[in-house]
Amino acid sequence: MSSQRIHIQGGRVIDPANGIDAEMDIYIAKEKIVAVGSGPEGFQADQTIDASGQIVCPGLVDLGAHLREPGQEHKATIRSETRAAVAGGITTLCLPPDTSPVVETAADVELIRRRADDSDLARVLVIGALTVGLQGKELSEMMQLQRAGCVAMGNAHKPIRSSLVLRKALEYAGTFGITVFLQPEDPDLADEGCAHEGVVAARLGLPAIPEAAETVALARDLELIRQTGARAHLGRLSSARAVEMVAEARAAGLPISADVSAHQLHLTEMDIGDFDAQCHVRPPLRTQRDRDALRAGLANGILDAVCSDHQPHEPDAKMAPFPVTEPGISALETLLPLTLKMADEIGMPLIDALDLVTAAPAKILGIKAGTLSIGAPADICLFDPASWWTVSPETLYSRGLNTPFMGWELRGTVTRTLVGGRSVFVAPSPATEA
Amino acid sequence: MSEPVPPAHRWGSLQKTANLQLGPNGRLRHFLTLEGLPRTILEQILDTAQSLVGVTDRTVKKLPLLRGKTIVNLFFEPSTRTRTTFELAAKRLSADVLTMNISASATKKGETLLDTLRNLEAMHVDMFVVRHADSGAAHFIARHAAPHISVLNAGDGRHAHPTQAMLDMFTIRHHKGEFHRLRVAIVGDILHSRVARSQIHALNILGTGEVRVIAPKTLLPSCPESLGVQVYHNIDEGLRDVDVVIMLRLQRERMGSALLPSGHEYFQLYGLTEDRLSLAQPDVMVMHPGPINRGVEMDSQVADGPHSVILQQVSFGIAVRMAVMSLAMRSSEAIARDLPA
């Protein structure tokens, strides 16, 4: 608990939710933002944070981060990964239900919440299982899960093979206004594949995942959403065609939103090179055309948000021949700089780029976060937009060092992160002084 | 001189652009794939193999080139012919050979591929010959093996089988001479074939006039042209005027699956018959990696006919593998000399 009164002074405040981009001060009391601009009458700060040269924005909201706890603590823990989250400026993140045990009872939700409270770093929101054991056969007790605090229901990256089950799940969730998170992939078309069906898989003889694995599943999902009227979020899209389909569906008024992982905005199948297992991700890295369409989709509002799809691994998970390595990237700490880099490369204004990782994902979740509005929780990220850092085992806080961006120089260094008005991360070296 | 081996960082990062296969002075160090190798090295392998062919016919069939060296054949996937030719090749070069058949189930007990590797390295091995069911396995092992160890790929998943392809090149050169004058057609299951991928690279590097693949779309990778071939779906068109036909073996499990309706229909559409062969050059040469599914890939008359060079391929196989082993070992010795003690 923090009842400190804090004055953040001299920073460039960017608050996409309120369309603010100006040099301003922020005042915090009782864990909330109490004023922006000039301080309340008689405000006596216990702490003044000098933010000159920094950008002050809402703490980032991440729609998908696998924290590996409970069940896979050899990869990472809630403590280790919420630490990495705040080091990356993320103050709220969504944990998909593919933990062990799967999140399908109130007790599972409670366990995660307790672990997150113990760590007391980033806020952890839980996505409940849409089907029992993520098996895609029986519906989970969605209302119990919602009452226990789940923000949405989903099946993580486990596809629901039966269209009948998906239809019923959407109908049931729709009855109670529950948002359903879907990651479209047709398991029969994806088969044993591990790389995009394109020139690289052809050359390396890698079992391939065709674009149709995503688009066929997406077409089915969209039709069922249309028919049931359920509110759904389509996550981790990877292909140009999927962006087109989402655009058509939105134009037709479907109640949907969509996101893309940050790595999909920068890498393509070519980055696999000669079997670089760090580029083994699901959905697979596709072509430059797909990458450019995903960027354009963000720029023109067809896609709402960028997420990390954080999947930390122990080193052994990637130390094997490419097809048998585990897919996924440790990505919390590169979410902000990769989003900034994309914005820089396509000429997107900073405020729009920050919207993709703050207000937009908060809106999808329907939560009070991702904004610097008066009365909002004081979840704030301060970063130096001009400072470069190198992704390396020394600079990462995550237990997972599995990232294809290892060695990349990225611009945008988080200097301080506040959650509920408390500084949960302060950059070690030069940094701003309290 | 460049660093001989990219350090295998503990987080698994790697140098994507470094040619893992070439050591100091551009010599062959590992033999993982033909992709990216210069023509001179392929020609060197063929020339060396040529000089070694005679050894097989002598009464004393041994050369002392690899005396005192230890070669471990690591077979994670069953194989008889490839394994025995590698064994014989190593023995004829006077190396000590150990063959390990490691079933997939053994590695699933928790010992990782890397653990297996580390254990064997402790036995002062000089070369690994690797066969594995996963594409990229040979690259993985080469990247993580100790710097003095050479890795030879004896087939990894659908990716590459470079010694088999070099044996085929040897056979083609033996019968046909210069590559730039030739039209070569590869018929059959390109999608799942590591041999085909390596043959295509080899033929292109050696400057073959035209390389064709002939198959239905279900047996081709997406964008097959990107491999550097002309694509034909009709065998009669594809065989016209070719000098060499390479038939690929069709795995039984592909028939009657969603890839192909039946062996019968495949033979009707893609089987090599004497009639079809008459569309090719009069002196056309027919190759097959064996064992042949008679009546599925080709007629018995063609398999046993005057154009067929199927059996001869086996005896050349030993010479080609001897050549690759001795060339790769020479380069790793050069590396061992340059390493700090």
CA-closest candidate to residue A387, choices A417, A412, A415? A412
What pLDDT, in 10s, does the model give residues A270-310?
999 999 999 999 999 999 999 999 999 999 999 999 999 99
Which positions in chain B touch A278 (Cβ < 8 Å)?
A: 12-13
Q: Is the pLDDT of residue B58 over 90?
A: no
> How many beta-carbon contacts under 8 Å exist across A and B?
103
Q: What mean pLDDT comes out for the span A20-49?
A: 95
At B2 the pLDDT is 38
What is the complex's ipTM, to 2 decimals? 0.89
Which positions in chain B touch A199 (Cβ < 8 Å)?
A: 222-223, 226
- Closest residue in A to B14 (Cα) is A276
Tokens representing A128? 């409940």
Residues 6+ apart with CB under 8 A from B118: none
- CA B10/CA B33 separation, integer angstroms: 25
Percent of chain B with pLDDT over 90: 60
- CA B218/CA A379 separation, integer angstroms: 54
Q: What mean pLDDT comes out for the span B172-188?
A: 96
* B11-160+317-338: CATH class: alpha beta
Measure in Å the smallest separation between the Cα of B305 and chain A Cα atoms.
33
Q: What mean pLDDT comes out for the span B14-22?
A: 65
Percent of chain B with pLDDT over 70: 86
At B106 the pLDDT is 59
Tokens representing B229? 């071939």
- CA A38/CA A15 separation, integer angstroms: 16
**A324, B114 in Cβ contact below 8 A?**
no
Residue A406 contacts B where some CB pair is shorter than 8 Å: yes
Please indicate whether residue A318 or residue B249 has the higher confidence score (pLDDT).
Answer: A318
Reported confidence tier of residue B336, pLDDT bands at 50, 70, 90: low
- Closest residue in B to A277 (Cα) is B12
Please indicate whether residue B285 or residue B103 has the higher confidence score (pLDDT).
Answer: B285
Q: What mean pLDDT comes out for the span A329-347?
A: 98
Q: Which fold has domain A6-56+376-426?
A: Urease, subunit C; domain 1 (2.30.40)
At B10 the pLDDT is 38
What pLDDT, in 10s, does the model give residues B258-317?
888 888 899 999 999 999 999 999 999 999 877 788 888 899 899 888 998 876 666 788
At B23 the pLDDT is 82
**Are B157 and A275 an interchain contact pair (Cβ–Cβ within 8 Å)?**
no
Beta strands in A193-314 (DSSP E): 195-196, 208-209, 232-234, 256-261, 305-307
Reported confidence tier of residue B15, pLDDT bands at 50, 70, 90: very low
Q: What is the mean pLDDT of chain A?
A: 96
- Residue B75: enclosing H or E segment and its boundaries? strand B70-75
- CA A139/CA A166 separation, integer angstroms: 9
Please give the distance of CA B167 from its chain centroid, rounded to a whole number. 8
At B8 the pLDDT is 40
**Are B222 and A324 an interchain contact pair (Cβ–Cβ within 8 Å)?**
no
Nearest by CB to residue B12, choosing from A207, A273, A278, is A278
Which positions in chain A touch B194 (Cβ < 8 Å)?
A: 205
Catalytically active residues of A, by annotation: 309
Long-range contacts of B44-47 (CB under 8 A, 24+ apart): B44/B327, B45/B166, B45/B320, B45/B323, B45/B324, B45/B327, B46/B166, B46/B169, B46/B170, B46/B173, B46/B320, B46/B323
**A376, A34 in Cβ contact below 8 A?**
no
**Are A315 and B11 an interchain contact pair (Cβ–Cβ within 8 Å)?**
yes
**A194, A206 in Cβ contact below 8 A?**
yes
Q: Is the pLDDT of residue A429 over 90?
A: no
Which positions in chain B touch A321 (Cβ < 8 Å)?
A: 113, 132, 134-137, 139-140, 156-157
Measure in Å the smallest separation between the Cα of B194 and chain A Cα atoms.
7
Which positions in chain A touch B114 (Cβ < 8 Å)?
A: 316, 319-320
**Are B11-160+317-338 and B162-314 the same fold in CATH?**
yes
Please indicate whether residue B176 or residue B23 has the higher confidence score (pLDDT).
Answer: B176
* B162-314: CATH class: alpha beta
Q: Is the pLDDT of residue A245 over 90?
A: yes
Please indicate whether residue B104 or residue B297 has the higher confidence score (pLDDT).
Answer: B297
Q: What mean pLDDT comes out for the span B138-142?
A: 95
Reported confidence tier of residue B105, pLDDT bands at 50, 70, 90: low
Q: Is the pLDDT of residue B337 over 70?
A: no
Residue B110 contacts A where some CB pair is shorter than 8 Å: no
Residue B35 contacts A where some CB pair is shorter than 8 Å: yes
At A322 the pLDDT is 97
- Where do the structural domains in chain A lie, given as residue ranges? 6-56+376-426, 58-365
| Residue B262 buriedness (CB in 10 A; 0-12 / 13-18 / 19+) | exposed
**A102, A108 in Cβ contact below 8 A?**
yes
Q: Is the pLDDT of residue B14 over 50?
A: no
What pLDDT, in 10s, does the model give residues A164-208?
999 999 999 999 999 999 999 999 999 999 999 999 999 999 999
Specify the pairing of strand A232-234 against strand A47-50. unpaired
Rg (CA), chain B: 20
Q: Is the pLDDT of residue B190 over 60?
A: yes
- CA A168/CA B336 separation, integer angstroms: 65
Q: Is the pLDDT of residue A312 over 80?
A: yes
Which positions in chain B touch A193 (Cβ < 8 Å)?
A: none
Residues 318-357 of A with CB under 8 A from B: 318-324
At B62 the pLDDT is 82
The domain A58-365 having CATH identifier 3.20.20.140: the answer here is yes
Which positions in chain B touch A290 (Cβ < 8 Å)?
A: none
**Are A6-56+376-426 and A58-365 the same fold in CATH?**
no
Measure in Å the smallest separation between the Cα of A269 and chain B Cα atoms.
13
Q: What pTM was computed for the model?
A: 0.93
Neighbours of B32 (CB within 10 A): 29
Among A240-249, A276-285, B71-80, B302-311, where is mean pLDDT lowest? B302-311
Q: Is the pLDDT of residue B117 over 90?
A: no
Tokens representing B188? 């059959």
Local structure of B144: helix, strand or coil: helix
Nearest by CB to residue B139, choosing from A274, A324, A401, is A274
Q: What is the mean pLDDT of chain B?
A: 86
* DSSP annotation of B26: G
At A434 the pLDDT is 40
**B200, B227 in Cβ contact below 8 A?**
yes
Nearest by CB to residue A319, choosing from B114, B197, B224, is B114
What pLDDT, in 10s, does the model give residues B219-251?
999 999 999 999 999 999 999 999 999 999 887
**Percentages (nearest 5) of helix, strand, coil residues in chain A:** 35, 25, 40
Measure in Å the smallest separation between the Cα of B67 and chain A Cα atoms.
32
The maximal CA–CA distance of chain B, rounded, in angstroms, is 65
At B44 the pLDDT is 94
At B331 the pLDDT is 66
- Residue entry with tokens 């990964």: A81
CA-closest candidate to residue B124, choices B140, B148, B105? B148
Q: Is the pLDDT of residue A358 over 90?
A: yes
- CA B300/CA B267 separation, integer angstroms: 12
Q: Which amino acid is at A141?
A: E
At A418 the pLDDT is 98
Residue A277 contacts B where some CB pair is shorter than 8 Å: yes
What pLDDT, in 10s, does the model give residues A371-417?
999 999 999 999 999 999 999 999 999 999 999 999 999 999 999 99
At B330 the pLDDT is 81
Q: For helices A240-251 and A211-228, what crossing angle results, to 10°?
A: 10
- Where do the structural domains in chain B lie, given as residue ranges? 11-160+317-338, 162-314
Q: Is the pLDDT of residue B47 over 60?
A: yes
Cis peptide bond prior to A40, omega within 30° of 0: no
Measure in Å the smallest separation between the Cα of B175 and chain A Cα atoms.
29
Percent of chain A with pLDDT over 70: 98
